[in-house]
Amino acid sequence: MMRNIITPFLFLCILGIGTEVAAQPALRDLLSFPAPLELTSASQVNRLAWVFNLQGRRNVYLSEDAGQSFRQLTNFDVDDGQVISMLRFSPDGKWIIYCRGGEPDGNWSEELPVNPLSSPVKTSFELWSFNISDGIAHLLATDPASSQAIITPDSKNVTFLKGGSVWSVPIDGSSKASQLFFARGSCSAIEWSPDGSKLLFVSGRNDHSMIGIYRDNRTPIQWIDPAFARDMSPKWSPDGTQVVFVRLSGGGGAPDSILKQQPRPWEIRVADIAKEGSRVIWKSPRTLRGSVPTTDGRFNLHWAGNNRIVFLSTMDNWPHLYSVSPAGGAPLLLTPGDFMVEYIRLSPDRNRLLFSANTGIDRQDIDRRHIGIVSVDKADMKMLTQGEGIEAKPVFLGADKLAFISSDVYRPSLPAVMDMNAKEVRLIGTAFLSKEYNRENLVKPVQVIFNAPDGTAIHAQLFKTAGGAVKRPAVIAIHGGPMRQMQLGWNYSDYYAAHYAVNQKLAQMGFVVLSVNYRLGIGYGNDFHHPEGGGSRGLSEYQDIRAAGKWLAEQPVV
């Protein structure tokens, strides 16, 4: 991962500008933003929950009146590095479950506990439930997998993964967790049927994987059209009689050059669980653009309403939503245009899709995020937000409201609720914001576009204060990832929001900062995200950073 590195030369430059620093906010203040995470909703009871990371102290918060008020549910008051993840409501909206521990989105093993305080007491993953009515929390299990936990449709039990197996525990903690069933391989992608009588799961077998259905301990596991292939992402039909899933080729085959990108074609299949076999309803093109998508949610496969199956593909170079009939036929492009969609949510009635996208009425929106909505059976996409703000990770909240993560140039991210009809936005948690977040202390980054030596257009954000020295030192900011995009405002990710804060601080200190969205990142199409010769295949993104340096050197102020 590439990270910003303060070299000894840069450190000497900072010392040399020390007289300008005293009147500015400290970096500690700029990094004190209340990072909101795990935004989730219970639409049927108008409840909204999320995690606030307040300077390392992570806790669950709840609003029961569409953001007009909220309260803290947990009381973890130490910055111990334990992440809260898998936050979700029970179907009846009366319970919340979450996993505490580790760093599920980290760069290293997701299953390893973390211990940044060097505590002599072993840290572990913990699965918790919280009863909203009586305020009592229940420790359900220790050391579950950090990848998935779901609640049964009757809201009585929690099903989770542990050691590659499927486990179950009463949501009220009335008895100990136990393994639900035995199956060879490593289980994942669990999902209960709508009536709660059957459990879908994927059984990983190293070079192939199969989809199984568990019913009870007296009935053999049913395998859905087993083959030497990689079957994944299974979803139930609304009536629980059919399953849609993705099939890729199994592992193995003749070796090929590791420096050449190979297409990874995939297909969508439907199986009637009362019959043998499955049928192909859509095949991706055998091209690099048609390969397995790598944006958030990957396939984003859903059996939606109006007898449509929706999915995401980059076959036209952009991560877009499509829908197709369960009987097959030509797919319908739901979100046409030169932009990407991510953080996709299916509405409770299964008839609409909510998402964030880098598009809008302003050409600079390619370097922002706004919220869009589209029907599952027609291309009637419309954008619900616009302007210079950044809105991401939306969820439905009742029939006419939505919630999302909102930020702008001067304000870090906060949860927000919007009435879809009135377009009124209510921010949640403004009292947690430092007084340093304002127009006086922060600069508005400027969109910059320049070409790399091979002609690739590179987007960047320029941070520079008005006035000051005639000639200034410059810094090229290289974000980590690299599968990310820095934006024209506070990023909706806490890690990249910290990058934005550092860029702001360097600008305050007298530096000209150019934050570069080099190739391998998202937001500019599949060809940019998966370039020829990129990364370990040739480091073609190096020329983007070199071009950024040349562009900076040509600026009169640098």
Q: 100-104, 124-128, 379-383, 399-403 — which one is most confidently predicted on average?
A: 379-383
Asked if the structure places residue 316 within a domain, the reply is no
Q: For 303-330, what is the mean pLDDT?
A: 97
Does 467 map to a domain? yes
Q: Is residue 155 part of a domain?
A: no
Q: What gap in Å lies between CA 325 and CA 303, rounded to an integer?
A: 10
Q: How far is CA 25 from CA 22, 115, 119, in A?
A: 8, 31, 33
CATH number for the domain spanning 484: value is 3.40.50.1820
Q: Are 375 and 363 in contact (CB under 8 A)?
A: no
Q: Where are the beta strands (DSSP E) in 91-133?
A: 95-100, 126-131
pLDDT band at 230 (very low <50, low <70, confident <90, very high): very high
Q: DSSP strand E in 379-490: where?
A: 382-383, 390-397, 401-407, 414-419, 425-427, 446-451, 457-463, 474-478
pLDDT tens-digit readout, 41-72: 997 888 999 999 999 999 999 999 999 999 99
Q: Per-residue confidence at 1, pLDDT binned at 50, 70, 90?
A: very low
Burial class (CB within 10 angstroms; exposed 0-12, middle 13-18, buried 19+) of 112: middle
Predicted pLDDT of residue 402: 95
Q: Please report whether residue 491 resides in a domain.
A: yes
Q: In which band, very low, low, confident or very high, does the pLDDT at 109 lie, cut at 50, 70 and 90? A: low
Helix (H) or strand (E) holding 50: strand 47-54
At 258 the pLDDT is 85
Q: What values do phi and psi take at 88, rounded to 5? A: -160, 155
Number of independent structural domains in the chain: 1
The predicted-structure confidence for 335-354, as pLDDT tens digits, reads as follows 999 999 999 999 999 999 99
Over range 266-280, report the average pLDDT.
Answer: 98
Quick check: is 401 in a domain?
Answer: no
CA distance 279 to 329: 12
According to DSSP, residue 323 is labeled: E
23: pLDDT strictly greater than 80: no
Q: What pLDDT does 115 receive?
A: 87
pLDDT, position 2: 34
Residue 499 maps to a domain: yes
DSSP state of 153: T
Q: How many CB atoms lie within 10 A of CB 369?
A: 32
* 131-158 b/e (C-beta count within 10 Å ≥ 16 → b): bbeeeebbebbeebbbbbbbbbbebebb
pLDDT band at 24 (very low <50, low <70, confident <90, very high): confident
Q: Give residue 512's domain range.
A: 8-29+443-553
Asked whether residue 107 is domain-assigned, the answer is no
In a domain, 228, yes or no: no
